[in-house]
Structure 1
Amino acid sequence: MDPAEAVGQLISPEGRVDPYPIYAALREHGPVVTAGEDFLVVTGHAAADDLLRDPRLVVLDDALRDQMWPEWRESPAVLSISRSMLRSNPPDHTRMRRLAAGTFTPRRIAGMRGVVAALAGELVRGMADRGRDGTPVDFMAEFAYPLPVGVICALLGVPAADRPWFRQRAADLTAVLELDVSPQDRAAADKGATDLLDYFAELVRARRRNPADDLTTALVQAHDGDGDRLSSAELLANLVVLLVAGFETTTNLFGNGLAVLLREPEHAAALRADPDRAPRYVTEMLRYDSPVQLTSRVASTALSCGSTPVPAGAGLLVLLGAANRDPARFTHPERFDPDREHNHPLSFGGGPHYCLGAALARLEAEVAFPLLLRELPGLDLAGEPVRRTRLTLRGYAALPVRVG
């Protein structure tokens, strides 16, 4: 199929559930291909890695969005995300990211290991109790969601009782990150964004009354101390994005990774026998079935990628999931192989927008998978997992397991 047809297939329900054959078809046209007027698609690992680091490529900001969709400010979901670091370029992106980065230092992340282990252990015991009689347990609901949401909510200072409330609202909001959004999904995303913004507005007021040792308090104090460092809209937008990004991708990493281990039990046995190999396993899980499959950029000036010219103003769809299976970079990329040398997946992006919480997501997975396999040695699939019909954020809606 030609590149434009392949992109159309990607946003179909079938393409969203299994994009890898379409990536392979796109790759036949080259690592960077033109798929429409001023629209390019990137499937090559080297090209994607270079382009994500190129300062001439920017994310879609207000000015660019005004040209493409003048009514975008009428969408609370799009408006809130646009005010966050996720959809900002320097110097605004640099300013906002610096304020949050202090929470994600290597020392602070390392200090979270005990918190992660304690919460993961509690969730595993809950799975064992609920599935003791052989009843299937939904891994996504019982572990893959509550662990990362518990961790990011602890960092933000969100009360434990409120955490289940976030799941559907966050899932609704992230629909606006997809390539194609239906009117129904956009309406749900707008409702989710409004609910989340209202929640964090109240949490901000609470932290002004009673400061705490959490990220919300730090951002509130940055806003109140100097409004030029963080506007009110940016404060709320970044709290929402930090919450959503802090668990959506890690939830998908847990589901995608466990599905591979249960379908290839020799790998589960090897990790169970040697839990110190967890970092290698997690890296390969990220490569093999990336929780984030794509990102986009716009060329602020004319450039070239290899022999492919990129005009000023052109949009680039960087397919991270395709780059992670590029045979020019990975031997037998369709094979799950934790022993790969020089394994460098692009699942967390690259350049200035490299995922702020990447080290935390890795830590959670490196703690969780050996614990699951050790405490639940009979863990196995209890039915066919159900994929979410999303492409950008790839994961499972349900993953039924028996705990043994």
Structure 2
Amino acid sequence: MSFDPADPAFLDDPYPAFAALRQQGPVHWHDGLGLPVAVSHAACGDVLRDRAAGRIWRDREPAAAFPAFNLLHRNSLLENEPPRHTRLRRLVSTAFNRGHTARLEPRVRAVADGLVDRLATAIAADGAADLLTHLAAPLPIEVIAELLGVPVGDRPRLQPWSNAIVKMYEYGLSPEGAAEAEAAAADFAAYLRDLAARRAREPGDDLISDLVAVRDGSDRLSDDELVGTAALLLMAGHEATVNVIGNGVLALLRHRDQWDRLVASPAELLPTAVEELIRYDAPLQLFERTAVAPTTVAGHRLEPGQKIAALLGAAARDPAVFTDPDRLDIGRSPNPHLGFGAGIHYCVGAPLARVEIAAALAALTTRLPGLRLAEAPERRPEFVIRGLRTLPVTT
């Protein structure tokens, strides 16, 4: 039993294939992906936490064709291991922990409320509207732009950059798609350098200003490290949040009893609902690690340089950890999903992501309690980053 990551039927619902694999064992070789994949929660946790299996960046080849894409990742804390990761994480966390989540929380709620009001207006005018266009996509862009201090006039440039760059993470990307990703990476890197230079001259209360200023003794982020950090926040923060909101609202509307529970008790259920939507239909399905020393993960032997992947969507439906795992339960607790990773690469932006998702759900359930699907949504044809192209809704 295996799966074809390009098969539309698999992309529509990968979870039965994951369950069949999990019944056969915790780790399997996948010919199409060219690496072993962990499918149980325990095995995926081992992959993410094993210090002998790290994030080792290898430049996209030919390297001369992808200088900007490689630079962004070479200098990202996600793509480095200790001691450099330890240093980058310390500096970035110091800057991030200067109250940015608390500072942004009222603004996030206000933006979500305004976007849902515009969604309601669009539905009233046309009978239906796309929730992705009106809420899921613009919300994280606005939040990340506020976080980084991107001027309002520049914000429409962020989403196209992110959408193009993350295509590079998919298997079987066309040469045209790769060229678009490199062009977007170059444009975004140049923009961030200019923004950082402006913030060095005129600091604000944004994260770029704090990243420019943060020090640990005499140590500070280099220009390339600052650019890599900001790019990571855009790509990870935008794509994950868009897809949690899109996949999650679709799941709620297909499980009306859970939508009605949230409408009836939002204050009580929002915290657990956020975690359950991350678990139930994972926005990031696969995360690779590379062995830096001989190691064994869930009985699978790896030699230095060999890769292994954690199938996070499979881990999230493991019945050894989650009771009735294929059931959506917005009150589920505990909920030890791996949606934000684990170990030293646990998502630094997780608190802000939770605020965004909760704000979107709160705005929808209070302002549009009668929300329902207008027609079948269209799913994106990618496997690694799981999301929708459209989510038509009405009331």
TM-score band by shorter chain is: over 0.9
Which residue type is aligned with residue 233 of structure 2?
L
1:27 shift after superposition: 1.9
**Partner residue, 2:382:** 390
Distance in 2 between residues matched to 1:72 and 1:335, nearest whole Å: 45
Distance in 1 between residues matched to 2:98 and 2:195, nearest whole Å: 27
Distance in 2 between residues matched to 1:106 and 1:49, nearest whole Å: 30
1:305 shift after superposition: 2.7
1:38 shift after superposition: 8.8
Q: Report the TM-score when normalising by structure 1.
A: 0.90
Q: Which runs of 5+ in 1 are unaligned?
A: none
1:105 shift after superposition: 3.4
1:134 shift after superposition: 4.4
Cα 1:171–1:289 change in 2 (3 A) is same
Tell me if the contact between 1:11 and 1:180 (Cα under 8 Å) persists in the aligned partners.
Answer: no
Q: Which runs of 5+ in 2 are unaligned?
A: none
**Partner residue, 2:49:** 53
- Pairing 1:83–2:75 present: yes
My pick for the range that moved more, 243-252 or 15-24, is: 15-24
Cα 1:292–1:159 change in 2 (3 A) is same
Which residue type is aligned with residue 265 of structure 2?
D
Q: Secondary structure at the match of 1:179?
A: coil
Give CA-to-partner distance per residue, 1:214-266, whole Å, 9 cap, x none.
1111222348x95x532222221221111222221111111011101111121
**Partner residue, 1:115:** 107
- Pairing 1:33–2:25 present: no
**Partner residue, 1:292:** 284
Which residue type is aligned with residue 51 of structure 2?
P
Pairing of 1:2-401 with structure 2 (within 5 A): 3=2, 6=3, 9-35=4-30, 39-61=35-57, 65=58, 71-75=62-66, 76-105=68-97, 108-222=100-214, 229-275=220-266, 276-401=268-393
Q: Secondary structure at the match of 1:317?
A: strand
Distance in 2 between residues matched to 1:134 and 1:11, nearest whole Å: 34
Cα 1:166–1:14 change in 2 (3 A) is farther
Q: Report the TM-score when normalising by structure 2.
A: 0.92
- Aligned residues, how many? 392
Distance in 2 between residues matched to 1:369 and 1:260, nearest whole Å: 12
Distance in 1 between residues matched to 2:279 and 2:393, nearest whole Å: 24
Q: Secondary structure at the match of 2:389?
A: strand
Q: CA RMSD in A?
A: 2.3
1:383 shift after superposition: 1.5
Tell me if the contact between 2:95 and 2:214 (Cα under 8 Å) persists in the aligned partners.
Answer: no
Over the matched positions of the two proteins, sequence identity in percent amounts to 39
Distance in 2 between residues matched to 1:138 and 1:97, nearest whole Å: 37
1:28 shift after superposition: 3.4
Q: Secondary structure at the match of 1:131?
A: helix
Q: Secondary structure at the match of 1:197?
A: helix
My pick for the range that moved more, 43-52 or 72-81, is: 72-81
Give CA-to-partner distance per residue, 1:271-323, whole Å, 9 cap, x none.
01101211111111111101111101011112223433333332101100111
